[in-house]
A = this chain, B = another copy of it.
């Protein structure tokens, strides 16, 4: 068959199929051969569109980050220089969108958590958060730290379900060994509300703690 008149593949089609396989079967089970079969081509065909599997994974990761809403960081008329007070609301909305985008694809989070690298959507995200915080009145060093700690919290919460990490088998929790885990086998059954509640509690606690620090900032020149 060799080269068809109209290409069988495109980067977009490959990325979409790869993400679906990663979601459904895990990162470890994704192979270039399996992915090619899914796309009805032979294994080496993918190398016409991506130099390596890593480059393909990078594209998958950036497509996920592209789903994060950044519109809340758009400049607000008159806020710059006035000592912003809307940054907590913006961070809250962003963190929720960020977590939702990642939690929809938990198997890819370990790759994504390695940092932005040269991926455009990841760099755009870092730029938007940092820029907003600085314009709201945070010193640059503090703004960097807030960007970092928010990523720690969001990626940690999207990496895996806390509740689902506890086996539903009650026999695991021998009272002699783990005196306080007698109800832990019920956690997995309430997976959604436990993880959602933990995320919201942590997010609000973080924002409250940061607001305390913002109020203590020396007045700017």
Contacts and interface: CB of A to CB of B under 8 A. Distances in A.
Interface of A: 110, 113-118, 120, 123-124, 126-127, 130-131, 134, 140-142, 144-149, 151-157, 159-167, 172-173, 177-181, 183-184, 187, 194-195, 197-199, 201-202, 204-210, 212-213
Given A114-B160, A204-B209, A149 B198 contact: yes
Given A151-B162, A152-B153, A205-B210, 9 more contacts: A124-B178, A126-B181, A127-B180, A142-B201, A145-B201, A145-B202, A149-B205, A156-B159, A202-B206
A185 to B, nearest CB: 12
A162 B141 CA distance: 13
A153 B151 contact: no
A205 B198 contact: no
Given A167-B118, A178-B124, A184-B126, A195 B155 contact: no
Determine how many copies of this chain the complex contains: 2
A201 to B, nearest CB: 5
B178 A145 contact: no
B166 A198 contact: no
A161 B110 CA distance: 12
Contact of A161 (B115, B202, B210): B115
A205 B202 contact: no
A34 B207 CA distance: 46
